[in-house]
Chains A and B, each alone.
Chain A
């Protein structure tokens, strides 16, 4: 297909370990991940002339800390929807010649800094704080309650998602949560915001993730097979978005699906592995429905019997995802997609992986399809 995306390639990926690292910070972790990404492709810091930063600090400070004066740089808001968006922005910049080689840098010190995703530190920005309603988990709990009422989706079906990703994580040496989890374990975990339980929530950890994007021409000389962005789908769902939405982002996801399969010319049946943004288990269900892998309301049945595990027929979040590897706001999921396509995933490699899809369902829905 004739497309600007054919000009660019992801040539390097890198990450740190995930855990609690109080002796460094988001800046240090982002830079460590970047060093790994440069090693991965054989480029040096001096090759970087573009910078996209997310959560690792201000873009200016990161440039300063690295000794880089970029031609082009961008800092995106701290939210999971921005990982996919960052990749698109970097690709656009390279394809239009605004930068020759872009480093994307993400760092997160949420665990050691004890960042809470709700409560008193968010009072100024939580519109419903006076009613005690706070945290993204609560928003997803409210949405899942509606999905359950409307379609009969059960907590046990959410457990299937958590259990499948935990199973995948057991094959990932970097995953933070690797102890076995059964459906009963999930069901016995305490309610956080009922109807969601502890094991429906992602794992906050410290870590850094980085990618290097450059032109396909440049990519030929580098260490690893270049990965192309074959398709992009984006749709924002901002209307009626302050109160939890009642549509599970289904229209926006359908729009995303039409674009990502349309622009790539790849059918959803040809997707070999899916990376679905899993801040919470129900988000994965909404994503499966919106992308059209099943009918709306059928995602609960779709994920039963471990379908999303590496042993199942629809491997998803092969690293263990946010639920078991670590919450890196989508960044590590995109890196896992790249590694699957390169054949670097060891025991968790999906055989014959040629098409990897990333999707994120939030008030901004985005999906990227990657191929070699």
Chain B
């Protein structure tokens, strides 16, 4: 049975599990520890996403994985009203946000714990990790606490 049909017949809602390639696996290991980490070029110090074998800026093959602040800003968002994933955790309507991290990399995530805040461009957010299965924690974003004036 497919993942989602099994979930539907069990009466639970299945997550959509990631299928990381060899370069992306560390992202999910860090996620499991509740940390947002990015690949960083050892040569020119640029962060990159999606992860890959060389730095797109300087083509160095030397890199590390570094935890980052988790802080960013929503630069775009959509709300799905059509259900592309029946039987999964994604019940329409649900939002997906595009977040520009402070480190200069854009990521995709869902806005969560928003309370009265609605997703909007410019909303400051911080990364959180939500368990979606026994093995996987999923990056999400929630509104960041207001920063003290500089």
* Chain A residues whose CB sits within 8 angstroms of the CB of B77 once the complex forms: 142, 145
Query: Would A194 and B90 count as touching, CB distance under 8 A?
Result: no
Interface centre among B17, B77, B78, B80, by most chain A C-beta atoms within 10 angstroms, is: B78
Q: How far is the CA of A118 from the CA of B16 in the complex (A)?
A: 13
B85 touches A130 (CB 8 A): no
Question: For the complex, what is the distance from the CA of A119 to the CA of B49, rounded to whole Å?
Answer: 23
- Pairwise interchain contact B16-A191, C-beta atoms closer than 8 A: no
Query: Of A132, A138, A240, which is within 8 A of B106 by CB?
Result: A240
Q: Are B18 and A138 in contact (CB under 8 A)?
A: no
Stretch in B35-43, B63-71, B107-115, B142-150 with 4+ CB within 8 Å of A = B107-115
Q: Which residues of A contact B80 (CB under 8 A)?
A: 132, 138, 193-194
Residue in A closest to B81 when the chains form the complex, CB atoms: A191
Q: Which of A132, A195, A240 contacts B96 (CB 8 A)?
A: A132
Residues A190 and B81 in contact, CB atoms below 8 Å apart: yes
Whether A132 pairs with B85 at a CB distance below 8 angstroms is yes
Which residues on the B side are within 8 Å of A119 (C-beta)? 84-85
Which parts of B80-98 form the interface with A (CB within 8 Å)?
A: 80-82, 84-85, 88-90, 93-94, 96, 98
Which of A123, A142, A242 is in CB contact (< 8 Å) with B78?
A: A142
Q: Which residues of B have CB within 8 Å of A145?
A: 76-78, 121
With contacts A141-B78, A240-B106, A244-B98 taken as known, whether A130 is within 8 angstroms of B84 at the C-beta atoms is: no
**A186 nearest CB across to chain B (Å):** 16
Query: Which residues in window 110-149 of A have CB below 8 A to B?
Result: 116, 118-120, 123-124, 127-135, 138, 141-143, 145-146, 149
- Shortest distance from the beta carbon of B35 to any chain A beta carbon, whole Å: 17
Q: Judge if A1 is at the interface, Cβ distance under 8 Å.
A: no
Contacts of A130 in B (CB 8 A): 15-18, 132, 136, 138
Q: Which of A120, A149, A193, A244 is within 8 Å of B79, CB to CB?
A: A193
Asked whether, in the complex, the Cβ of A193 is within 8 Å of the Cβ of B82, the reply is: yes
Residue of B nearest to A124 (CB): B19
Contacts of B53 in A (CB 8 A): none
The answer, yes or no, to whether B10 is at the interface (CB within 8 Å) is no
Contacts of B18 in A (CB 8 A): 129-130
**Contact A129 B121, beta carbon cutoff 8 Å:** no
Q: Could you say which of B2, B50, B106, B110 contacts A131, with CB atoms under 8 Å apart? A: B110
A188: which B residues are within 8 A, CB to CB?
none
Contact with B along A94-117 (1 / 0, CB 8 A): 000000000000000000000010
A129–B4 alpha-carbon span in the complex (Å): 13
The tally of residues in B whose CB lies under 8 Å from a CB in A reads 37
Interface centre among B75, B82, B136 (most CB of A within 10 A): B82
Instruction: Pick the residue among B50, B81, B84, B85 that contacts A194 (CB under 8 A).
Output: B81
B121 lies within 8 A of A133 (CB): no
Q: Which of B28-78 contact A (CB under 8 A)?
A: 49-50, 56, 75-78
Which residue of chain B is the closest to A190 with respect to CB atoms? B81
Partner of B84, one of A118, A146, A149: A118
Contact mask A157-177 → B, CB, 8 Å, 1/0?
000000000000000000000
A118, B90: Cα distance in complex, Å? 14
Interface-centre pick from A123, A143, A242 (highest chain B CB count, 10 A): A123
With A120-B85, A191-B81: A128-B108 Cβ-Cβ less than 8 Å:
yes
Identity of the chain A residue whose Cβ is nearest the Cβ of B138 in the assembled complex: A130
CB neighbours (8 Å) of A239 from chain B are: 56
A191/B106 contact (C-beta < 8 A), A116-B84, A123-B16, A130-B16 known = no
A192-B82 contact in complex given A131-B110, A244-B98, C-beta closer than 8 Å? yes
Chain B, residue nearest A134 (CB): B84
A131 touching B109, Cβ below 8 Å: yes
**Does B132 lie within 8 Å of A134, measured CB to CB?**
no
Q: How far is the CA of A190 from the CA of B80 in the complex (A)?
A: 11
Identify the 7 closest CB pairs spanning chains A and B, nearest first: A119-B84, A132-B90, A194-B79, A191-B81, A141-B78, A133-B96, A128-B108
- Seed contacts A149-B121, A194-B79, A243-B98; 4 additional CB < 8 Å A-B pairs: A133-B96, A143-B76, A193-B80, A244-B98
Residues of A within 8 A of B (CB): 116, 118-120, 123-124, 127-135, 138, 141-143, 145-146, 149, 190-195, 239-240, 242-244, 246
> What are 23 pairs between A and B in contact, CB < 8 Å?
A120-B85, A128-B108, A130-B16, A130-B17, A130-B132, A130-B138, A133-B78, A133-B96, A134-B85, A135-B84, A142-B76, A142-B78, A142-B96, A142-B98, A145-B76, A146-B121, A192-B82, A193-B78, A193-B82, A194-B78, A242-B50, A243-B49, A243-B108
